[in-house]
Amino acid sequence: MRRTVFCPNCGEKDILQYPNNRPVADFFCSSCDEDYELKSKGGKIGKKIVDGAYSTMIERLNSNSNPNFFMLSYDKNSQAIRNFLCVPKHFFIPKLIEMRRPLAPTARRAGWVGCNILLDNIPESGKVYFIRDGVQLQQQSVLDKWKETLFLRQEHELSGKGWLIDILLVIERIGNTEFTLDDIYGYASDLADLHPENHHIIDKIRQQLQVLRDKNYLTFVNRGVYRLINHSI
């Protein structure tokens, strides 16, 4: 893996391991100081990744001290890497974290509550692959994909970031690089369920599309029609 991994933020191969038992991350880039936590699994990655304490993860999200996540899956027999990707830290919002049941009273750490990372709540734009289905991607394509969503780091409020991520998920569900405002409105009730505190869903949708336009993620083709810039579905 060391021949494959480089920092997706700066492109350097200066990924170093922290001392054991560091609570926040496993690796860091000595060139740009990005932190990374590694999760690995034999077989398919699946829809969930088991992580540590729920309270610690939520505290990280609220303080923005969470690391980026490297996720690796390998063939159990050959040990060959099947998938290796990075989920940038700016995609981590509370709805991505699922609380597990507390450990039983008879357990050594009775009452301890862990969490799962729900991969289905991450848009494809938030899954930066180095290796996908056994095929290694070109370094420049990895770096380009990483840069596409760095604008999310400028959104410091979790609620605002959550809205943008939900709109990205809706665009992916539409499934076309060019789509209409009515296509997005078709998911208004779903967005209302996700954001019950907001009573102006239609206005919010238009606002978020304007943000994505300002960040050069998409462009307006003509009235009510949008197109993704340099993105595929």
In order of their start, the domains of the chain are 15-147 (3.40.210.30), 158-228 (1.10.10.10)
Mean pLDDT, the chain, integer: 91
User: What's the whole-number mean pLDDT along residues 103-107?
Assistant: 89
Q: For residue 2, what pLDDT is reported? A: 56
User: What's the whole-number mean pLDDT along residues 203-230?
Assistant: 93
pLDDT of residue 118 exceeding 60: yes
pLDDT of residue 227 exceeding 90: yes
pLDDT of residue 12 exceeding 80: yes
Q: For residue 5, what pLDDT is reported? A: 86
Please give the share of the chain, as a percent, with pLDDT higher than 70: 96
User: What's the whole-number mean pLDDT along residues 122-145?
Assistant: 95
Confidence of residue 1 (pLDDT cuts 50, 70, 90): low
Q: For residue 128, what pLDDT is reported? A: 96
Cα–Cα nearest to 208, from 195, 13, 135, 8: 195
How buried is 156 (Cβ within 10 angstroms: 0-12 exposed, 13-18 middle, 19+ buried)?
A: exposed
β-bridge mates for residue 228, sequence order: 218
Q: For residue 145, what pLDDT is reported? A: 95
User: What's the whole-number mean pLDDT along residues 152-171?
Assistant: 93
Q: For residue 196, what pLDDT is reported? A: 93
Q: For residue 69, what pLDDT is reported? A: 94
Confidence of residue 34 (pLDDT cuts 50, 70, 90): very high
For 41-89, the pLDDT digits (tens) are 888 888 998 888 999 888 888 887 789 999 999 988 888 899 999 999 9
Give, in degrees to the nearest 5, the angle at Cα 171 between 170 and 174. Answer: 90
Q: For residue 232, what pLDDT is reported? A: 63
For 185-197, the pLDDT digits (tens) are 999 999 999 999 9
